[in-house]
Amino acid sequence: MKVNINNIIISLEKNQDKELIKEIGKRGIKKENIERIIWNKRSIDSRKKNDIKFIYSIEVILKNDIDLSKLKDVTVAKEKEIPKREPLFNKKEVAVIGAGPAGLFAALRLVEYGYIPLVFERGEEVDKRDITTNNFINSFDISDLKALNPESNVQFGEGGAGTYSDGKLNTRIKSEYIDKVFRELVACGAQENIMWDYKPHIGTDVLKVVVKNLREKIKSMGGKFYFNSKMENLHIKDGKVIGIDILRGLKEREYYSVDSVILAIGHSSRDTYRMLQVKGVHMENKPFAVGVRIEHLREDIDKMQYGKFARNPLLGAATYSVTYNNRKEDRGVFSFCMCPGGVVVNAASETGGTLVNGMSYSQRDGRFSNSAIVVGIKENEFGEELFSGMKFQEKLERKTFEIGNNYGAVYQNVMDFMSNRETKSEIESSYEMKMNSYDINNLFPQFITNNMKAAFENWGKNSYFISNRVNLIAPETRTSAPIKIVRDIKGESINVRGLFPIGEGAGYAGGIMSAAVDGIKVVDLSFTKTCL
């Protein structure tokens, strides 16, 4: 028998295991009848810095059944059921373009139903991608346009852009597929505690192993992978996909006759977006956000969140989330992809353009913590023309490259930014490539800098968060796709049959979890039917 108990509150200063047993006993369950305790969720309540608490939701597996009427605040655990499904078509090949979380989980779902996914990834497999990316970061002359491999970098390659992030798994979506994604990640090497932490993360170091194991699992079930293989052209006849052209390396081209293409291209595949426009695939501009990375000393963020308990090993590196709403403009400023104990990394993927992102390792034990601070951009802020937002991103990235004539980043102390003056001294930072001092007020349009300043002024009530110990590193431009590839309720393009846009690149996800879920969901809706 399994039962659920929610809202168990235990002070950080108490022994968590002993207190859990006591709290279960208060509900009417004797210790001798407990076979196993499973944490469904554990969160932190740090509102009172002198008495931080853990809040648990648990599942208790009992040795013997018990009369629920004698228990207090206990419910029977119900299994989440996904209706059984079967393939809609005879066994056949399906092209999957992209090996990020959306593409990988779509491929996994396809092989589970007996299909043969042909996964084409423009970048390298994760181990080779890691070498290529590190070589770029450590390049002697980052002004050399050839220093960057535009096909394999922080954005492109096995695992997608999320591989070089914090590996965050928290999501706002509700889906019956979330548990499946978590179980698959753990089976492929992720930490078991992602199953219950309220802000689960894997870390880029572990995520690389998970991605590789997931690929091998798919291959063992019949899937096929092709790296350094970019979809260069989509063949359409009478409104239906009939094939794709794959470019391998820089020379070899091969045509594949397929009538189903799952498009998991990621939010940075600008060349692919342009090709799709030429082919007549219906797309729309969508909202996105741009801004900077704000970098603090990790100890300051830990003190801000946890006070005297900042060094407590049960808490680890502190996270935060901040928002500011400019009601006059109906515009939000918010933190995004917060990386506790993490590093700021170069995230360039196009020759002659540069930008930054954030990343954490599994231990989150770095000296700094960083987060994107971004300003919301409306879908047609820069014109009604398709790709107007994407062109704005490109312009910012090229401008940053031109400022230093290299793939580095620009930086400014936050107090200098607020006062419109360039930072004269060098700064300490986790960012490993060249940084150029620059007044970021001159980098962005005025409405972006004005909104960032208003937000910093509002948040500046906390001296840990806004002070002369805090720096800005820019630009952060790739928070999400500025394009949506419009699809129907089952996930198929509204005007090209056989084309299934999924994940962040299609404009239907934001993060590892939502992208993975989207990949599974579209396969279920479009390639299977419910068993009778």
Q: What b/e string do you get for 43-62 counting C-beta neighbours within 10 Å, with b at 16 or more?
A: ebebeeeeebbbebbbebee
Helix (H, G, I), strand (E, B) or coil at 271: helix
The residues with which 75 forms a beta bridge, in sequence order, are: 4
List for the chain the helix, strand, coil content (%; round to 5): 30, 30, 40
pLDDT at 7: 93
Residue spans of the chain under pLDDT 50: none
pLDDT at 333: 98
145 sits in which H/E element: none
pLDDT at 79: 67
pLDDT at 171: 78
Domain boundaries, the chain: 2-76, 87-133+168-284+482-530, 287-476
Residues in contact with 376: Cβ distance below 8 Å, sequence separation at least 6, in sequence order: 287, 289, 331, 332, 333, 334
pLDDT at 77: 73
User: What pLDDT digit, counting tens, does each position of 401-417 carry?
Assistant: 999 999 999 999 999 99
User: How big is the CA angle at 474 (ends 472 and 479), to the nearest 5 degrees?
Assistant: 110
Whose tokens are 């870390």? That residue is: 203
pLDDT at 80: 64
pLDDT at 66: 87
pLDDT at 140: 83
Fold of 2-76: Alpha-Beta Plaits (3.30.70)
Q: What is the DSSP string of 212-263?
A: HHHHHHHHHTT-EEESSEEEEEEEEETTEEEEEEEEETTTEEEEE--S-EEE
User: What pLDDT digit, counting tens, does each position of 285-318 carry?
Assistant: 999 999 999 999 999 999 999 999 998 999 999 9
Helices (H) and strands (E) in the chain, counts: 12, 25
Average pLDDT, the chain: 94
Domain 87-133+168-284+482-530: CATH superfamily is FAD/NAD(P)-binding domain (3.50.50.60)
The residues with which 331 forms a beta bridge, in sequence order, are: 326
Work out the number of other CB atoms within 10 angstroms of the CB of residue 157. Answer: 31
Side chain identity at 39, as an amino acid letter? W
